[in-house]
Amino acid sequence: MRLRVITLLLLIASSTVFVTPTYAVENFRAACSDISEDNLDPGPDCLRMMQDFPRPVVTPVKLDRFTLSNYEFWKVVNESPLLYDAPGGGVIGQMPAGFNFIHQTDAADGWVKNRSGQWMNMDDIKYQPTSQFRGVSLLNGLENNFGWVLGDLVTVPSPGARQSMDTGEVKFRYDMVNIFAEVRHTDGWLWYLVGPNQWIEQRSLAIPKPTEKPDDVTASRWVSVDLYEQTLVAYEQNTPVFATLIASGLPGWDTREGVFDVWARVERDGMSGATGAPDAYALESVPWVMYFDGGISLHGTYWHDGFGYRRSHGCVNLSITDASFVFNWFNGAQPGEDGEILSQVHVWASGEYRGRGPATK
C-alpha cells in the first residue's frame, strides 16, 4: 500500500512538471502594465514574469522531411541556357531568360534533368538550399504577444538606445521572443520589451496578431494573413491554433485584402508568368499550393528564405513545412451544409504597411 501511494505521488509530481501555468495567460502583460514612456523600470511581478517565461509558450510543427529531402531544386544562373536531350547530347531548345528554377528528377556527371525531361549543364545552374523555417502550434492561443526576430541584432537597454554588446543580448534571425510591454518612442516607432532591460524596435519583429472572425468567414478552419506584420494565423472557429511568417506581394503585385474561398488545392504545380518581360519567372514543382484569389495562392517556397518580408508577385509564400502543415490541416475541416469542405483565407492589414527596411514598415 505504501509503495502504491509513493508511486502515485511520483506520477502526480512528474505530470505537473509539464503543465503550462495558467496565470501566464491571465497576467502576462498585466504584470508589466506599469511600464510606460515615463517609467521603464519593471516591477517585481514583471521581472518574475520575464524570468519565468523567457520564450513563448509554443511548439514548432513537425518538419515536412519528405518534401525537404526528396525534392532538389536548382536556380538557373546563366541567361537563356541550352536544353539537351541527354547528358552531352543534342540541343533541343533554349530556356527563356527570367527568374527560373528547376526541379531535379535525375542527374548524371555534370548534368541535371528537369521535370520537363530536359537535361541542363551544371555550369548553367546552382543548387538551391531550401529553408528549414517552420511556424508554431499555439498552446495558449494569442493571449500574450510574441514575435519573430527578422534579422541578427543586439537588444538595447532602453528604447532608442544604440546596440552594444556590453549592454545587450544577441538575437538571431527567426529567434522567438515574448513581448511584455511596448512604448512609443520619440522616433515614432514602437519599442517592445522582450526581457529584462532588453528592447527591440518594431521594424525588427514580426508579430502574429489576433483578429475577430469576419462575418464572411463560414468555414470551420480558416487562415488570417496580416500584410502589415507578414504573418499568418490559422483558426479553428475563433481559436488561433498555429502561427507563422509569410512573404506577400511586392509593391505593384500587392496581395489583395478580403475574404476568399480556397477553390483548388494541389500538392505540386508549376508557376510562370511575364515570359519575355524583365520580370519573367518560371518555377517548377511548387509544393502544397492552395489557390484562393484567381491564380493567387498560399504555397510552399523553395527559392528564398525571406519570410517576414514582401517577396512575391501576389502569392502568399510559406516555407515548405508551413505550406504542408496548412494544406493538410485544411483536410480536417468540418464539412459544410452541402457536405463540401470549405477552406477560407482572410487577408487584411493590422497597420499601414510601408515596407520593411532600415527606416520603413
**Side chain identity at 148, as an amino acid letter?**
W
**CATH topology classification for 72-128:** SH3 type barrels. (2.30.30)
**What is the full DSSP assignment across 234-269?**
EEETTEEEEEEE-B-BPTTSPPPPEEEE--EEEEEE
> Do 310 and 230 touch, CB atoms closer than 8 A?
yes
296 and 315 Cβ atoms separated by less than 8 Å = yes
| pLDDT for 338 | 66
Place of cell 494565423: 233
User: E strand or H helix at 171, and its extent?
Assistant: strand 170-171
- The one-character DSSP state at 294 is T
- Rg of the Cα atoms in the chain: 24
Yes or no: domain 221-348 corresponds to CATH 2.40.440.10? yes
Within the chain, which residues score under 50 in pLDDT? 1-25, 355, 357-361
Domain ranges in the chain?
22-53+143-206, 72-128, 221-348
- pLDDT for 359: 31
Q: CB of 331 within 8 A of CB of 210?
A: no
Cell of 98: 527570367
